[in-house]
Amino acid sequence: MQVKVIKSDGSLEQYLHTKVLGTFANALAMIDQPNVYAAEQFADAVTFHLYRKKRAAIITSEEIHLLVQAVLNATGYANAAVALNDFHLNRKVKRKRIEVVDEHADHFDPDQRTPWNKSTIVHWLMENKKMDLHLARAIASSVEEKVLNIGILRIRKSLIKHLVLSDIDVMLQAQEQLCGS
């Protein structure tokens, strides 16, 4: 049985233990108590729980987030659970506030704006650049991180495209170096 995750954008992907491990590691780092061993143990517990439960093998990313918080709270890291939840909520708010506008769009015309959606990049990369899902998601996540860090509420499609193309180059170079060495 393979556990599937319904992402916040509605897409479906395979459950990745490493993402949960990274979430625990980041949560512990947020409170200046990095502990890779604890993060590994916590991630193992969540993965074991997900594969041993008797219901459908589909879970939402929000349910995983709640499981991570529950584990942190139950193991004496309530402050890490709070920090993770604050990060999670702030990220959601930032995503909801960002609008994408066409190159020649009037910023005041709501018909010329669309909400930010990382999945748009993933679909574009898979369709137009024939990338596999994992590489497309990695590039889209990297671009989203840059867009969120810029801190502007309206971003032009041309800037997004520039960021995507730049990250494609970086990812492909990294992939070449890994495979070539």
Low-confidence ranges of the chain (pLDDT < 50): none
The helix (run of H) or strand (run of E) holding residue 3 is none
Asked if residues 6 and 59 have their Cβ atoms less than 8 Å apart, the reply is yes
Residue 156 to residues 8, 52, 54: CA-CA distances in angstroms?
23, 45, 46
* Dihedral pair phi/psi, residue 152, rounded to 5°: -95, 155
CA geometry: angle 17, 70, 72, nearest 5 deg: 75
Give phi and psi for 93, each to the nearest 5.
Answer: -65, -45
Q: Using the CB atoms, write b or e for 16-46: b if 16+ within 10 Å.
A: ebeebbebbbebbebbeeeeeebbeebbebb
pLDDT of residue 26: 97
Nearest residue to 156 via CA among 121, 107, 117: 107
Model-level pTM? 0.81
